[in-house]
Chain A
């Protein structure tokens, strides 16, 4: 009787123990700090769809010894909430790798990332200040300075528009764009005639339109975002600014596309060839289309890549028998020359940013028409 009970207990214990270690071996967790509620919740869904698809593929391929899962925390796109979510991921879930979205949130969590040696990856914000958040902050999206470097030669050389006026919000993104224009324009034979900064809460632009007209430009570059850029476009067109408009990827939103006054405006975006035969890209596009009944967008591809990047690095670490920690991931990334991601072979700069091809698009009311692709130099 006793012997039976003992062995039964022993067996139970054995099963429990094996369950425990098996569970540990079965899960590799990473985190994501996305807006899951609040006005930007739809972005959280969009980014998550890319990340989740990547995790699915990683697990289907059995790339890692252990199941990859993503723990999502809600940032509401607010820095304060983002820090709370990040703290939870780092202290409680103890993840080595976190996906991040929205510039304010990214900046807020970057300090935690540095301090705890956790990798944080941005796939959405393009502000060049995202390159200055420390070695543990990586960007899988090409930053806005590359976008400007692609737009300017097209504007000046292909379209013959030499005199440019910049209207920008005086934040790091706007300031960086201004700096890029100041150097890129003279180099291609153009000229930054005037740079007008606007407060990000401004709603009246008729006065600024007057100053733009006064400068007699050939083209107007707008560095704003959200609903303000729509107001700028409308009030400029209403107030006699008839020149060609140009901007960065902030113009790639559906509201701009549907806005009649914006027709013909030029803007840059990350270039991803959705019809590419490259196996990683093709599988991503096909499976995404099958699941969601529409083509993915660059943001979705970026967050897919962020997860895939982790899997590639972790696989190498596991092969070497090293634990998956932020430190090791960083070292492994520096060691690896290129990665096979959606969009082709990608490599990282020393400061954790990627160079990627940029395309110039035109607003045509039907989703934007690509006019040219500039490959990175």
Chain B
């Protein structure tokens, strides 16, 4: 029964990881920008929701919308004010990465100053688990999480397949130059990518705030997982990022069946490390030339 419980926990956690990872993969795949501040978008969305829902007692829909607006705005502003000027000058991987990293540090500390470094959680009865059968506990939040992930992912697929912008984004991730030839502007498209990618963190952020709680350092943790999932799943493949996110969530929890809890975080990174050494293209990604 323990194994089954760990499996269910893994799926719940992995689903959220997958969604966040897809957001990162979308941005990275289409714009080639190493958006390390993706974790910051997550943290901002989570804290906005927490503040509005728990502190000022707004309606959850209002809080969720505000969180979404905050995350999307953050992504777009970052793209316009930080990444765009850098790409105009020089745009090497290094400068963009460092700038993004710097933003991550600033956001984490500002959140710490405003909300305190301790952990906070959105108090809701939905996080309470119910014993569905002997020894196996599941909370309503888990169900909501999986539902949200399915909805958002489905919505994303529709968007990418059916709308013009979606198709342009897919084209951008495959061949930037060709996109220009066809008269589209990569700069404008990248703003869409950031908006969409940042939107995708919002459900995971809200559900994490209600489930396990948040603290300012959560952005870092989320970022690492998204990065690991993107690479393991294969850069450029959204399906890969989602699957890899799920896999990492499962690995983290199933590891508890065998190992001491100390090692569960390390397990995720050992998996990542091995993939980078032996199969950097991940599950579904394009081949990587060194």
Contacts and interface: CB of A to CB of B under 8 A. Distances in A.
Indicate if A touches B (C-beta under 8 A). yes
Interface of A: 39, 170, 196-199, 201-208, 210-211, 213-214, 226-228, 230-231, 234-235, 237-240, 255, 260
Contact of B9 (A39, A210, A214, A226): A210
Contacts of A228: 119
B2 interface: yes
Given A207-B6, A214-B1, A238 B256 contact: no
B262 A170 contact: yes
Given A204-B212, A210-B9, A235-B212, A227 B2 contact: no
Contacts of B13: 204, 206
Interface residues of B, number: 32
A199 B265 contact: yes
B244 to A, nearest CB: 18
Contacts of A211: 2, 256
Contact of A204 (B127, B128, B129, B252): B252
Contact of A199 (B211, B213, B261): B261
B264 interface: yes
B137 interface: yes
Nearest to A208: B261
Interface of A is mostly: helix
A238 B260 CA distance: 22
A203 B128 CA distance: 17
B105 to A, nearest CB: 16
Top-9 shortest CB links A-B:
A227-B118, A240-B137, A207-B256, A227-B119, A210-B5, A238-B127, A206-B9, A207-B253, A199-B262
A258 to B, nearest CB: 12
A226 B6 CA distance: 26
Nearest to A213: B135
Interface in B130-151: 131, 135, 137, 139
Given A203-B218, A206-B253, A208-B256, 12 more contacts: A203-B119, A206-B212, A207-B9, A210-B6, A210-B137, A227-B119, A230-B119, A230-B213, A231-B213, A234-B213, A237-B128, A260-B123
A230 B123 CA distance: 13
A95 B138 CA distance: 60
